[in-house]
Amino acid sequence: MLNDNFLNLDLAIAFLTQSQNDLNSFITGLGLLGNETAISQLYLDFEQALSVFNQQYQQLKTNADVKETQIERIEAELTLANELQSVESLRLQDLLAQKTALVQDIGIFEEQKASIEQFSASGKEGIENKITEIKEDIERIQGELEQLYENEPDNPLIDGKEKELNGHIHRLDLHKELLSLNGLDVAQQLATVDLQIQQQSEDLENLETTDIPQQQGIVDTGATKLSAIQATLEALETEKTTATEDLGIFEAEYPVLLTPDETDFLSWQVEENSPEVIK
């Protein structure tokens, strides 16, 4: 009688390769012909071996399917993370743009304050000279913009140059106002400018110490998360490749056991005087 470990997977495969050969001869070679108990055990051992084979095969298929499902989930997570990161990055860029605008505005107000103080000390001549300088700045920027419009209409510098032009135009308007000031107006205008500088400086400080650092932290955390998700996706893709290759190797190595018609012979009967052939 065969022991419990007699028929392993390799023997089961060898058994199946007797297709189109005299099964009785194969059984005789094992010394089992006429031993119904041993043959019954052979049935049982083969069924157990085939069960193990099927479990292994299903596990390989499951591994490949699970990896595919995990990849789809991680890809969706990566897409969402990229979208969120894009939003947060835009928020950071907006805050940085606000900072740039505030720095520019403070510079304009400080220049205006200096001009008011100069007006108080030297009268209109200093203001008129400043107006001339500002007009030259405006003409220079307009010339640069015309070149960009004509030769590089999609150049991102255009946006920055337009903002710079608007700043110079604002400077020009402020200095023109100074020419009409009297003594009382000068004091009031100076107080107004000081207040504007103070407010803008407070806004700038809040951006630099609170808003921008907080948003930068959000963006940095998002970048770290994106890198982790990307690494997970790459690892899963490698694991999927391995799982798919393992499945392919298994299917190539045991094709006969994966053909339903070839495993139907479990119903065969062996009789000493009646050879059977595995179909």
Q: Average the pLDDT over 218-224 and give the result.
A: 96
What pTM was computed for the model? Answer: 0.58
Tokens describing residue 107: 């510079």
pLDDT of 22 strictly over 90: no
Question: Does the pLDDT at position 39 exceed 70?
Answer: no
Q: How far is CA 211 from each of CA 179, 197, 203, 214, rounded to the nearest angstrom?
A: 39, 20, 10, 5
Chain CA centroid to CA 68, Å: 17
Q: Return d(Cα 97, Cα 60) in angstroms, integer.
A: 55
Task: State both tokens at 192.
Answer: 């107004």
Task: Return the amino acid letter for 270.
Answer: V
112-135, pLDDT tens digit by residue?
888 777 766 666 777 788 889 999
Q: What 3-state class would DSSP assign to 78?
A: helix
**What does the DSSP 8-state code read for residue 265?**
G
**CA-CA distance, 77 to 98, in Å (whole number)?**
32
252 compared with 230, residue with greater pLDDT: 230
Answer whether residue 241 shows pLDDT above 50: yes
Q: What percent of the chain has pLDDT over 90?
A: 39
